[in-house]
């Protein structure tokens, strides 16, 4: 149902919180409508194909105008209600603009004397001409307005949009976040890869849909700087004070920190255990040969396999796989060279500094076992290297984190 009166369409505001400071960094504008006395989300209205686009554009700009006027007024009356105002605008509407001066948003910013750096435009979907969209966004950016990509990972909101638009913020699709939180392997890897990309390129990752403390803890652990969701605050007609949510954020942040310390301690103890086992295996190989590993009881249940290469990465021995509690040789079908693996050069270079300390890789998916593993390396005589594949503790640590905060 479409409200017949524009007064029945209005904005609500949901806080976006900076986990580093605990303060509210900004508010997202969310459209609401009054229907038969009830206040409902206006989202379904804007996805209704029976509603004429011009009607939707009129209502959208009406809501946007109210939100910006409220933001300007609140900032003047109470500076502690500062922060950015995040506004959703469909790209198809952006590309209908004819020239920079025709932008109602820019006109409102000027008319209301709003600092443009306190405004973020969220691009909520694709479906627009990319060349035109980039020109319009450049016009916003030239005025100091921030750009966000909303719902990354949903529909067509893919990595190419991040590359093309170079946003200030990337808001992760809520469904993708939930899947990663539940431990779905590929979703988890996508979220963590996006977090690393944010660290390297400078955009800020925003996690939406945070509904439990366990989800908030996971959002922090992924490295997301900004979080948003019903756990923190529901959309309301008024702005929250900048420090309103700080105690909650600080408490969970403290819990996450201590949990992370526990994880690294466990990982350190595992590394010490692998160091000891690697030394035992090296002694066997050095004093006899790698064939001495055949039938050896697996000294650590986290070990998947071990093998020997030269310092150029060429595999010299068969894989000695952990099978039924013992190391069993698996003959090589064809020669293999592992120097192309990113971890190999790092392990070899590390031997120059401390040849008795294990080098190790980042966790990665082992194609043979379909498990997350890390490869450890220890030098042998005659330019050889002992490599040991060990089941990573990352998955277990993630499950433990969810259990602790549930």
Cross-strand partners of 15: 27
**Greatest CA separation found in the chain?**
88
Q: What is the pLDDT of residue 86?
A: 96
Q: What is the pLDDT of residue 291?
A: 92
- For the CA atoms of 276, 268, 322, 306, the dihedral, rounded to the nearest 10 degrees, stands at -70
Helix (H) or strand (E) holding 321: strand 319-323
- Is this structure's pTM higher than 0.85? no
Place of tokens 């105002």: 85
Helices (H), 39-125: 43-46, 53-77, 91-94, 104-111
Please state, in angstroms and rounded to a whole number, the distance separating the CA atoms of residues 359 and 364.
15
Whether 145 and 107 have beta carbons less than 8 Å apart is answered as no
Per run of 10 residues, the mean pLDDT along the chain (length 406 residues) is 71 96 95 87 82 83 92 75 84 62 79 92 72 83 92 69 86 92 85 87 92 94 93 94 93 93 88 90 93 89 93 96 92 91 87 78 82 90 94 62 50
Distance set, CA 76 to CA 62, 235, 239, 245 (Å): 22, 22, 13, 22
Residues whose CB falls within 8 Å of the CB of residue 222, separated by 6 or more in sequence, listed in order = 180, 191, 192, 195, 205, 207
Q: What is the pLDDT of residue 134?
A: 83
Q: What is the pLDDT of residue 95?
A: 64
Q: What is the pLDDT of residue 1?
A: 58
């Amino acid at each position: 149902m479409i409200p017949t009166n524009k007064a029945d369409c209005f904005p609500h505001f949901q806080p976006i919180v900076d986990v580093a400071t605990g303060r509210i960094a900004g508010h997202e504008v969310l459209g609401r409508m009054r229907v038969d006395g009830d206040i409902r989300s206006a989202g379904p209205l804007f996805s209704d194909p029976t509603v004429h686009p011009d009607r939707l554009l009129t209502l959208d700009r009406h809501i946007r105008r109210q939100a910006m006027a409220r933001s300007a007024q609140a900032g003047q009356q109470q500076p502690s209600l500062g922060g950015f105002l995040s506004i959703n605008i469909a790209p198809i509407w952006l590309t209908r603009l004819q020239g920079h001066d025709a932008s109602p948003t820019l006109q409102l910013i000027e008319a209301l004397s709003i600092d443009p750096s306190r405004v973020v435009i969220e691009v909520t979907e694709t479906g627009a001409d990319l060349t035109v969209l980039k020109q319009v966004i450049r016009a916003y950016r030239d005025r100091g307005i921030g750009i966000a990509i909303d719902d990354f990972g949903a529909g067509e909101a893919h990595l190419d949009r991040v590359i093309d638009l170079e946003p200030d913020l990337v808001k992760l699709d809520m469904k993708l976040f939930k899947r990663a939180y539940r431990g779905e392997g590929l979703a988890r890897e996508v979220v963590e890869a996006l977090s690393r990309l944010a660290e390297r390129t400078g955009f800020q990752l925003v996690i939406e849909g945070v509904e439990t403390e366990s989800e908030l803890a996971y959002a922090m652990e992924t490295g997301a700087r900004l979080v948003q969701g019903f756990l923190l605050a529901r959309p309301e007609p008024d702005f929250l004070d900048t420090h309103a949510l700080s105690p909650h954020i600080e408490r969970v942040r403290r819990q996450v920190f201590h949990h992370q310390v526990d994880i690294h301690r466990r990982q350190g103890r595992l590394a010490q255990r692998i160091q000891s086992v690697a030394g035992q295996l090296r002694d066997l190989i050095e004093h006899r040969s790698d064939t001495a590993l055949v039938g050896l009881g697996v000294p650590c249940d986290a070990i998947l396999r071990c093998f020997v290469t030269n310092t150029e990465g060429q595999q010299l021995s068969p894989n000695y796989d952990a099978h039924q509690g013992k190391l069993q040789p698996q003959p090589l079908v064809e020669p293999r060279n592992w120097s192309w693996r990113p971890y190999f050069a790092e392990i070899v270079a590390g031997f120059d500094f401390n040849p008795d300390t294990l080098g190790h890789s980042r966790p990665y998916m082992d194609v043979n076992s379909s498990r997350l593993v890390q490869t450890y390396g220890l030098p042998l005589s005659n330019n050889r290297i002992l490599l040991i594949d060990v089941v990573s503790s990352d998955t277990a640590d993630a499950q433990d984190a969810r259990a602790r905060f549930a």
